[in-house]
Structure 1
Amino acid sequence: MENLLLVFITTIFIATILNVFLKKFEIPTIIGYIFAGLAISYLFGLKDIKTEELNHIAEFGIVFLMFTIGLEFSVAHLLKMKKEVFLYGFLQVFMTGLLFTLLGWFFFNLEIKTAIVLGFALALSSTAIVLKILNENAEIHSGYGRITLGILLFQDLAVIPILLMISIFTSPTDSISVLLLKTLVSAAVVFLILFVFGKMFIERFFNWITSANSEEIFLIAVLFVVISSSFIAHLFGFTYSLGAFLAGMTIAETKYKYRIESDLVPFRDILLGVFFVTIGMQIDLHTVVDYWYIILGLLVGIMTLKALIQFSMLYPFVQIRSNFKSALALFQIGEFALAVFALAYQNALIDNKINQILIITVVLSMIITPFVLKNLKTLADRFFKEPETEVVMKSTGFANHVIIIGYGPLGQKIAKKLKKAGVPYIIIEHEMDLVRLGEEEGEKIFLANAMQRQTLEALGARESMAVIVALDNAPKIRQVCEALMSLDKKINTIVKVRNESHKRIVEEFGIRHIVVASEVMADIITKEALTCELKHT
């Protein structure tokens, strides 16, 4: 390609301009890359040019993505959230994938192999978009946040069987039994080489590499591990991504995990960007014009069915409001579905028309998602009221106790320290799932709304030694402080805020015991630094 450098510069320019613009509307960078690919494909007439080499390079964006997912895979962490991950996650993926498989087979006349791959790919949601917004809104530890996180973790694990299905279905062997046997044997060998043997030698290998005390050599060694692991998996008939995932799992329990993860992020993000640019290059605007009604129907149908299936499956287990919010949070189709569609297209499981329609549908669902997540509370308020309990109706008789408002990570740590010190306390929590967690821990916890004066009065806020506001959400902190001060300005209230601007807002309510998280961290770090300096001197 004569104008390769010009194409490259133009792609970077368009992607940068688009992503800066889209960022103002909280639309993920994935969309900018896809539209950049679409733009250059028409600007430079690349629609009919074979880009096999580029696709191979782009596929390594998925390889590095799967490697970083493997790095984050912790058995201990999953066991702490076993209900959210293994029960809720399994129900969502299996039931959604099964329904879409049946719909594809019966109503769209797809081959059963194609229906299975597409059905379970559509069950996946966007880890990148959803978790990013949950973290920004400080809702990752809320009731619906834990459910959403658990299901997304299971979906990350479910990617591996989906990739295996593509390998199995596209094998030239006709006998399914022979195919499954060969696959199981190959899987055992790959697992043995990459995970078992790898676990024995990987830390020694990196100990030897770090003895050179060179960042450059260390980075080359990491790239060697990722690419060679991918090649070994591919050698045994599996995808490059499977090898990368196992390599990530192998390194996850070593002391080099976080260093490797930080070093690989630039490579992962750049190659993922290339991957999504190549996806954009495959979009045919004629398909949008010719099949817009099918795309619109699929978009509405898939998102509605995903939300309804998840809501129905989790209804017996989860508080209804949290269930509703988590169902809406995961109703989009995830970025990894695009990778599955690309692999399915490359292996002739789907034709170009279906591939085009599905790509456009996924992109549109991603564009819609940030707007829904930003207004999730408003949508939930329209259908379900905030949960209340009878505790707000009558006095409990508590006195000389501490009230902890919020049972997130901070509230849990405060409760443990008060229990160890023998100080009487109670907990007020608004999310049913966190209340259940507290009950399992044997805590005296109440499902109630601390933003209501009646709740605070019934639980003895006036008679308490102190009220500790252990919330992360700034608007909720303000509402709780307002309710406490309107009840009695003499209540000894302690509030944790993120920064000075939040502190000034809380001070307006007359509260004087305010802990600024950024100041506390700065004091601790400075103290540690001075201690280190004194030791050296």
Structure 2
Amino acid sequence: MDNLLTIILSATAIATFLNILLKRFNIPTIIGYIFTGFAIAYLFELGRNNDSLTHVAEFGIVFLMFTIGLEFSIKHLMAMKKDVFFYGLLQVCLVGGVIALSAEFLFGIEKKSAIIIGYALALSSTAIVLKIFNDRGMIHTVYGRKALGILLFQDIAVIPILLMINIFSNQESSLSTLLLQTFYSVVIILGLMFLIAKYVLNRFLSLVVWADTEEIFIAAVLLFVVGASFLAHMLGFSYSLGAFLAGMMMSESQYKHQIEADLVPFRDLLLGLFFITVGMQIDFNLIAQNYGMILFSLALMMVFKTLVVFGILFFSVGGRVALKTGLALCQGGEFTLAILALASSSHLISPTVSQILIVTVVISMVMTPFILKNMKKIVDAMSQEPNNGDFMIHSSGIKDHIIVCGYGKLGQEIVYRLKKMNVNYLVLEHDINLVKLGQSRGEPVYFGNAAEKTILKNAFVENAKAVIIAINNEKKLILLCEILKSFNAPIKIVAKASDYDEKKLLKSLHVKHIVNEGREAAKALLKVAMEEDEALLSDK
């Protein structure tokens, strides 16, 4: 027990300080976690091929797959269908197919292993690319949209790749038998998920929300995620597939945004554990013996992936946009690491090949922030095409709207007046009864705790004209103002102060638009009283 606590404390300390250091160089936390795992394995002489580490790694991916499923929108995909299903399919098939053939015929790798390696290396890092694109405002450029579409297809492609690992690792049955069993299992799991989503999920979550206990709500969501993962595993699929389906079930729920906000810390923590376990599996001696092959594989993978994306996009969007998209997607990704780890544990890939490929992918991920930061310089040096294809694409999200936090009596009055003024608005409310009341009136009232950054992002707070806080709880009011102030964009906050102390607190947070409840009520009462007096005098 003491040794376990020592390992946990050491891992936490190393990860914290290392990520603070790496953040100065814009290197993502994923890399810090991987180096932490490597350091822990070296310091405490932990075994690399450990079954318990594999289970922890897959459990981290379970929550990543769940959040992807939670954000999975058929409407969104159809709006970007060409970017997703045409360019994304071409990229995965071309890169995966060519690498698989090269691995089999040039390096003598067995066919099944070559297929897994090829399609694993076709994937890019959704976590790194989209985070940097969002932070730098690049997501709304043409190349940002193309990269997003291809990444979405790559996320979907993870499912059949994981299914291939299941089929290839089962040596006891013929391929036709496995496919037939897989078909039956797919029908069973999709049928059960459909029935649960239609008849059980919303009713169960309504009861949980009615209990008004946050930890029970989180526990209920975890129950569905882990339960769906376990069901998928019992039917012969990976835990990750079950989590993905659970996310899709909950994506249609009115509690979607609150679920996402509550589970982000779990996802990030468990993903941190996953990448630590990846780092723990790196063998330094093996790297020293194969550094030439690692560097060769790195250069070949990054150049080839860039050229494939450049080739499929060149004729539709021009050289500059195609090259920028290719550079953005040239690295391996977190799912590449997960697939390689799972394939290695299933004995589809030898430990040596797995180590070489994992290190190659890790180095490519370390290089990505530097490539994206200097993308314009790289493209300017390589392309003579005029810079006319990098224009911004407007976000599909709403803008210039009013966000009302709270749908109590005051919130309802504000909404009534906004409707009369024909102002675009939406409401965030944490009381499910008030949410149902607003929705029964046909008003855009959404369930979620407004004092959570993810919820506010989903409400496009940075594009809003103003945020009106109609909450009576002082602690929630102050917390919400603090969170709103943490956004980079200047957000107009309109808040109600009950007394002088509350007004003082709001001013200390630099809230400029404060309505004094007592003063405004006094003005209104006196105004009505004086109007009545004047009316009486005029009658006389």
TM-score range, shorter chain: 0.7 to 0.9
1:379 is displaced (CA, Å) by 1.1
Partner of 1:92: 91
Partner of 1:61: 60
Q: The residue matched to 1:114 in structure 2 has which SS?
A: helix
Equivalences, count: 422
Once residues 238 and 397 of structure 2 are traced to their aligned partners in structure 1, the CA distance between those partners, rounded to angstroms, is 44
1:332 is displaced (CA, Å) by 0.2
Moved more, 313-322 or 263-272: 313-322
1:253 paired to 2:239: no
Are residues 105 and 523 of structure 1, via their aligned partners in 2, closer, same or farther at CA, if it must alter by over 3 Å? same
Does the Cα contact within 8 Å between 1:97 and 1:116 map onto a contact in 2?
Answer: yes
Partner of 1:409: 395
Partner of 2:528: none
Does the Cα contact within 8 Å between 1:173 and 1:179 map onto a contact in 2?
Answer: no
Does the Cα contact within 8 Å between 1:195 and 1:246 map onto a contact in 2?
Answer: no
Q: 1:522 aligns with which of 471, 493, 497?
A: 493
Does the Cα contact within 8 Å between 1:69 and 1:245 map onto a contact in 2?
Answer: yes
Partner of 2:189: 190
Once residues 159 and 10 of structure 1 are traced to their aligned partners in structure 2, the CA distance between those partners, rounded to angstroms, is 33
Q: The residue matched to 1:3 in structure 2 has which SS?
A: helix
1:116 paired to 2:115: yes
Moved more, 375-384 or 16-25: 375-384
Q: Output aligned runs, 1:23-422, within 5 Å.
A: 23-47=23-47, 51-385=50-384, 387=386, 408-409=394-395
Does the Cα contact within 8 Å between 1:124 and 1:337 map onto a contact in 2?
Answer: yes
Partner of 1:21: 21
Does the Cα contact within 8 Å between 1:90 and 1:154 map onto a contact in 2?
Answer: yes
Are residues 317 and 531 of structure 1, via their aligned partners in 2, closer, same or farther at CA, if it must alter by over 3 Å? farther
Once residues 100 and 392 of structure 2 are traced to their aligned partners in structure 1, the CA distance between those partners, rounded to angstroms, is 42
Partner of 2:441: none
Once residues 189 and 512 of structure 2 are traced to their aligned partners in structure 1, the CA distance between those partners, rounded to angstroms, is 49
Once residues 311 and 300 of structure 1 are traced to their aligned partners in structure 2, the CA distance between those partners, rounded to angstroms, is 16
Percent identity over the alignment?
50
Once residues 489 and 306 of structure 2 are traced to their aligned partners in structure 1, the CA distance between those partners, rounded to angstroms, is 38
Once residues 201 and 497 of structure 1 are traced to their aligned partners in structure 2, the CA distance between those partners, rounded to angstroms, is 35
1:195 is displaced (CA, Å) by 3.6
Q: RMSD over aligned Cα, in angstroms?
A: 2.9
Partner of 1:11: 11
Once residues 191 and 513 of structure 2 are traced to their aligned partners in structure 1, the CA distance between those partners, rounded to angstroms, is 44
Once residues 19 and 55 of structure 2 are traced to their aligned partners in structure 1, the CA distance between those partners, rounded to angstroms, is 25
Once residues 497 and 11 of structure 1 are traced to their aligned partners in structure 2, the CA distance between those partners, rounded to angstroms, is 41
Deviations 1:459-515 (A, max 9, x none): xxxxxxxxxxxxxxxxxxxxxxxxxxxxxxxxxxxxx999xxxxxxxxxxxxxxxxx
TM-score, length of structure 1 as denominator length: 0.74
Deviations 1:340-394 (A, max 9, x none): 01110110001111111111111100111100000111111122246478xxxxx
Once residues 387 and 299 of structure 2 are traced to their aligned partners in structure 1, the CA distance between those partners, rounded to angstroms, is 33
Structure 2 counterpart of 1:272, which letter?
A: L
Are residues 412 and 277 of structure 1, via their aligned partners in 2, closer, same or farther at CA, if it must alter by over 3 Å? closer
Q: Output aligned runs, 1:366-515, within 5 Å.
A: 366-385=365-384, 387=386, 408-409=394-395
Query: Which blocks of at least 5 consecutive residues in structure 2 are unaligned?
Result: 401-462, 466-487, 497-510, 526-540
Structure 2 counterpart of 1:38, which letter?
A: F
Moved more, 253-262 or 231-240: 253-262
Does the Cα contact within 8 Å between 1:130 and 1:329 map onto a contact in 2?
Answer: yes
Once residues 355 and 174 of structure 1 are traced to their aligned partners in structure 2, the CA distance between those partners, rounded to angstroms, is 26
Once residues 253 and 348 of structure 2 are traced to their aligned partners in structure 1, the CA distance between those partners, rounded to angstroms, is 39
1:57 is displaced (CA, Å) by 2.6
Does the Cα contact within 8 Å between 1:195 and 1:247 map onto a contact in 2?
Answer: no
1:408 is displaced (CA, Å) by 2.2
Once residues 257 and 298 of structure 1 are traced to their aligned partners in structure 2, the CA distance between those partners, rounded to angstroms, is 41
1:196 is displaced (CA, Å) by 4.5
1:530 is displaced (CA, Å) by 6.1
Does the Cα contact within 8 Å between 2:132 and 2:369 map onto a contact in 1?
Answer: yes
Once residues 244 and 211 of structure 2 are traced to their aligned partners in structure 1, the CA distance between those partners, rounded to angstroms, is 27
1:146 is displaced (CA, Å) by 0.3
1:156 is displaced (CA, Å) by 0.6
Once residues 252 and 74 of structure 1 are traced to their aligned partners in structure 2, the CA distance between those partners, rounded to angstroms, is 8
1:208 is displaced (CA, Å) by 1.3
Are residues 102 and 531 of structure 1, via their aligned partners in 2, closer, same or farther at CA, if it must alter by over 3 Å? farther
Does the Cα contact within 8 Å between 1:61 and 1:271 map onto a contact in 2?
Answer: yes
1:173 is displaced (CA, Å) by 3.4
1:203 is displaced (CA, Å) by 1.1
1:174 is displaced (CA, Å) by 3.4
Does the Cα contact within 8 Å between 1:95 and 1:309 map onto a contact in 2?
Answer: yes
Once residues 136 and 386 of structure 1 are traced to their aligned partners in structure 2, the CA distance between those partners, rounded to angstroms, is 27
Once residues 44 and 299 of structure 1 are traced to their aligned partners in structure 2, the CA distance between those partners, rounded to angstroms, is 30
TM-score, length of structure 2 as denominator length: 0.73
Once residues 265 and 218 of structure 2 are traced to their aligned partners in structure 1, the CA distance between those partners, rounded to angstroms, is 12
1:519 is displaced (CA, Å) by 5.0
Once residues 412 and 60 of structure 1 are traced to their aligned partners in structure 2, the CA distance between those partners, rounded to angstroms, is 35
Does the Cα contact within 8 Å between 2:142 and 2:392 map onto a contact in 1?
Answer: no
Are residues 313 and 365 of structure 1, via their aligned partners in 2, closer, same or farther at CA, if it must alter by over 3 Å? same
Q: The residue matched to 2:347 in structure 1 has which SS?
A: coil
Once residues 397 and 277 of structure 2 are traced to their aligned partners in structure 1, the CA distance between those partners, rounded to angstroms, is 46
Deviations 1:80-114 (A, max 9, x none): 11111111111111111111111111111111111
Once residues 529 and 235 of structure 1 are traced to their aligned partners in structure 2, the CA distance between those partners, rounded to angstroms, is 57
Does the Cα contact within 8 Å between 2:65 and 2:241 map onto a contact in 1?
Answer: yes
Does the Cα contact within 8 Å between 2:54 and 2:342 map onto a contact in 1?
Answer: no
Once residues 38 and 489 of structure 2 are traced to their aligned partners in structure 1, the CA distance between those partners, rounded to angstroms, is 43
1:25 is displaced (CA, Å) by 0.7
Once residues 122 and 109 of structure 1 are traced to their aligned partners in structure 2, the CA distance between those partners, rounded to angstroms, is 17
Once residues 55 and 115 of structure 1 are traced to their aligned partners in structure 2, the CA distance between those partners, rounded to angstroms, is 22
Once residues 516 and 233 of structure 2 are traced to their aligned partners in structure 1, the CA distance between those partners, rounded to angstroms, is 51
